[in-house]
Amino acid sequence: MVGGDRMKNTSSKIRRNVWGKSFDIVNYLILTLFALTILFPFWNLFVKSISSPDAGIVEALQMWPKKLSSFNYEYVLKNRYIWSGYRETLIRTIAGTLLSVTLTAMGAYTLSKKNLPNRNFWTTVVLIPMFFSGGMIPNYMWMVNLNLIDNRLALILPGLVSSYNLIIMRNFFMAVPEGLEESAKIDGAGSIRIFFSIVMPISKAVLATVALWVMVGHWNAWFDATIYIRNADKLPLQVVLRRILLEGTQQMMDMNSTDTNHVTPDTLKAATTFICMLPIMCVYPFVQKYFVKGVIIGSLKG
């Protein structure tokens, strides 16, 4: 009987191992196919961007370039609107991210304190903009009254503090052990010193997560610039890209009658798109490691 039980246990373990390995194989195949469906559009775009304009009509889907060439990138990088767009987008992204993360963290740290007078009331005030908005017309009138039309601040100030990001940070700060702050107060540190020297350094996960959200939002934003910015040299990169892709304006592509005989618009658009998304693709992997940890802790604790 003992030998029979052992054989049954062994056979059941073998079955479980076979089913487990089969499940892993199927799972890997499905995830690999899913990853390929995500990566292929990027690869197809890159192949178009390095295809020579002399290769003829570019097909909708390509695995390899018909004729390798760097002409499209050379042509796009000579476009002054691309460089002015890069300048404006970098200014907006860097300044907007730094200011937004700093002010959001300061507001979240204040709301995380249990001894804050009328704490629930101020938390409710912060939550209201998550569900109700003044709309586009009041925002535009606000920018006009502040004389911020055609000003970079019009792209940064309206979204400086997000209610959602503030609540995520608030919950994270509420999970910080009170003993750290109490020991610092005993040593004579004030609230500002505690915040910047103790709380901020141990909050890298949530700060990096919120910074990633804000950074990607500023980098991809285009609609507010079309409303508030009039000068073409102050347009961010995404507006320049949109005008090239959708409108195909010769002004934005710096094309003249002689250029049109040697340039394929599709390959130029592909090169422009790839140049626009390359910086954010390079930054994202370095911040990704903090993403899951920051979201989970900030959304569950507190």
What would the pLDDT profile of 236-273 be if each residue is shown by its tens digit?
Answer: 988 888 887 776 555 555 554 445 445 667 777 888 88
Selected residue with higher pLDDT from 198 and 297: 198
Whether the pLDDT of residue 49 is over 90: the answer is no
Taking every pair of Cα atoms in the chain, the longest distance, rounded to a whole number of angstroms, is: 92
Question: What confidence tier does 195 reach under pLDDT thresholds 50, 70, 90?
Answer: confident
Question: What confidence tier does 2 reach under pLDDT thresholds 50, 70, 90?
Answer: very low
Residue 71 vs residues 10, 107, 263: alpha-carbon distances, Å: 65, 49, 9
Considering only CA atoms, which of 134, 130, 153, 128 is closest in space to residue 143? 153
Helix (H) or strand (E) holding 71: helix 71-77
Selected residue with higher pLDDT from 63 and 199: 199
Query: Region 128-138: what's the mean pLDDT?
Result: 83
Half-sphere exposure of 18 (CA within 13 A, CB side): 6
What pLDDT is recorded for position 280? 80
Query: Region 206-212: what's the mean pLDDT?
Result: 87
d(C-alpha 239, C-alpha 266), whole Å: 18
Residue at token pair 């998304």: 277
What pLDDT is recorded for position 254? 55
Whether the pLDDT of residue 281 is over 60: the answer is yes
Question: What confidence tier does 292 reach under pLDDT thresholds 50, 70, 90?
Answer: low
Considering only CA atoms, which of 124, 135, 211, 191 is closest in space to residue 163? 124
What pLDDT is recorded for position 256? 45
Over residues 140-174, the pLDDT tens digits come to: 898 999 999 999 999 999 889 988 899 888 988 88
Q: What is the pTM of this model?
A: 0.77
List, in sequence order, the alpha helices (H) in 119-261. Answer: 119-131, 136-145, 153-156, 163-174, 178-186, 191-194, 204-220, 223-228, 237-242, 250-253
What are the backbone angles phi and psi of residue 81, rounded to the nearest 5°? -70, -30
What pLDDT is recorded for position 16? 63
Whether the pLDDT of residue 34 is over 60: the answer is yes
Selected residue with higher pLDDT from 19 and 171: 171
